Amino acid sequence: MTRRSGLRNPAAAARGLGAATLGLEALVLVLAIQPIRMLGDGVGAAAMAVSAALAVAAVVVAGLLRYGWAWHAGTVLQAAVLLAGLLHWSLLGVGLVFAAVWAYVWHVRRVILS
């Protein structure tokens, strides 16, 4: 027996949640550029460029969530943000928070699509 989520279009709801999460992550990554600039520690330029590139990647992946592989790309993106934490500690903080949120998005997706 399959559980019904009660949603008219559960797949679209899951995509919306994933896209909203990635969009918010992109916004946070863009906003993180200023503190990185102020607290540079010598690798500020590289960390700012990586933060901007990851923000663009998050927006692109958010737009592609209608494809199954894009969900896995979102997971890879979370790992990339965590790795960017090697450049600046603030990116590690962003990575930890959004990796946890992304894990929850996967859980919600699994629950409503089952």
pTM listed for this prediction: 0.91
Contact present, 74 and 61 (Cβ < 8 Å): yes
d(CA 31, CA 16): 22
Contact present, 59 and 37 (Cβ < 8 Å): no
Task: Map residue 1 onto helix, strand or coil.
Answer: coil
Which amino acid is residue 66, in one-letter code?
R
For 58-102, the pLDDT digits (tens) are 999 999 999 999 999 999 999 999 999 999 999 999 999 999 999
Is pLDDT above 60 for 1? no
